[in-house]
Homo-oligomer: A and B are copies of this chain.
């Protein structure tokens, strides 16, 4: 590394420290956003936009961009972590340079204002409160894809690539095509073979306090280390982190639904484990967090479904559940519970969908997003289109926006192109399971008192790297092969064929 590169590295690291520091108020704001005093929001939003302006100025400033150019030009002399980081930084800097400051800041403000409107829409079941915000968000994203188009990435592809680098409409079409061909007919057979669940689950109340207590227990199982974590509450469960020693999840407790908070907790703790296990060495770099949305989702859904809905897991933990809900589950057996949490049925809500219908929920969102950029879906007709697709794919009549188009915060938080990574992440998770099984008896380890063995494997093969490698490279390291969606199909068919006593064909 020559003296010029060395100086550029110093500048780059100095400004990155600033940028990491400027992420703190956003982290803290999101943690308390739903509890903060309502009347304080306009002042708060003004501050957050101003902080975005400071970060934007650092990111687009000559010192930073010139530093990145210098490092990029001499990238052969950098260690592999910094080299990968600089390639990403160069791409991001080139992209941000195309976004005018006024648009960028005005959009931050739109997103801050949209969030409480999303909560209102979800809670009231009416799309109206959030509609004008979706209009603005779509308008910005349509402008954005034009700014960012390249020879190889056009329209919606620009957004898809942001959430999972390398993914395009062509690749997702292929992936979702396989799901339609393979899973839709299989789903019909499974649905026909379903038996009713124990009435306890639909007829009884499960007190929120007991649910919280059981989620604390799950925290111990999932190595959700109290010294490094917090559990909170929000409308829509999520995980957020500030470095690898402050990782927070939220949950939502429904007293008429025992499974919701349990599987949200395991899901979010899967995300959390990923962040907790990123190497300490990466904490002072820009590679210190999970690499991509699909890889992140592969971790959360690995724990939620592959571990958390396994027979071994509940053979170990059902006694604790039963102890916690002694009255509510007094006549319920382990087998009843296992059947309940693996029951397949067409429902309205993505986050509460079983493993088989889940990718269809995602497919619907993917198709709508495509239409937002390639077709005619706008804020005006998105609710009708949504409802029509739920009828077509799942045979359901959506009763209101809270159970429909306003159930997920993503679009109203500016995340368009994000949803498809959920199905992709589930598919990654299945492939990871097959890789894990080659190294140890992963299925037996799901029945251990904690997820320690599984976590150690994931740390070694995925988590430790943070975002210091590309998603494709990490998958290659973990699985010894490129992504192959057939593992996902195989996993689902084998699992449900066994549960339902039907053929896996």
| A-to-B contact residues, CB < 8 Å | 17-18, 20-25, 28-29, 31-32, 35-40, 42-44, 46-48, 50-51, 53-54, 225-230, 242-243, 245-247, 283
Contact = CB atoms under 8 A, between A and B. Distances in A.
Contacts of A230: 35-37
26 contacts: A17-B46, A18-B50, A20-B47, A21-B47, A21-B51, A22-B51, A23-B47, A24-B47, A24-B48, A24-B51, A28-B28, A28-B29, A28-B32, A35-B230, A36-B230, A36-B246, A37-B227, A37-B246, A37-B247, A39-B225, A39-B227, A39-B245, A40-B242, A40-B243, A43-B242, A43-B283
Contacts of A228: 37, 39-40
A24 B21 contact: no
A239 to B, nearest CB: 14
Contact of A245 (B22, B40, B227, B245): B40
A245 B37 contact: yes
A60 to B, nearest CB: 16
Nearest to A229: B37
Contacts of A28: 25, 28-29, 32
A43 B227 contact: no
Stoichiometry, copies per complex = 2
A38 B37 CA distance: 26
Contacts of A40: 228, 242-243, 245-246
B50 A21 contact: yes
A43 B243 CA distance: 7
Contacts of A23: 47
A230 B36 CA distance: 7
Nearest to A247: B37
A174 to B, nearest CB: 41
B18 A246 contact: no
A474 B54 CA distance: 36
Contacts of A229: 37
A248 to B, nearest CB: 8
Contacts of A226: 37
Contacts of A29: 24, 28
A42 B225 CA distance: 17
A50 B28 CA distance: 16
Given A25-B28, A32-B28, A246 B51 contact: no
A21 B105 CA distance: 14
Nearest to A29: B28
Nearest to A43: B243
A50 B227 contact: no
Contacts of A44: 24, 242-243, 246
A410 to B, nearest CB: 25
Nearest to A248: B37
A20 B45 CA distance: 12
- What 6 A-B pairs are tightest by C-beta distance, nearest first? A40-B246, A21-B50, A28-B28, A43-B243, A39-B245, A21-B47
A243 B36 CA distance: 13
Contacts of A37: 226-230, 245-247
A43 B246 CA distance: 9
Contacts of A247: 37
**Which of A21, A46, A54, A245 has the most B CB atoms < 10 Å from its CB?**
A21
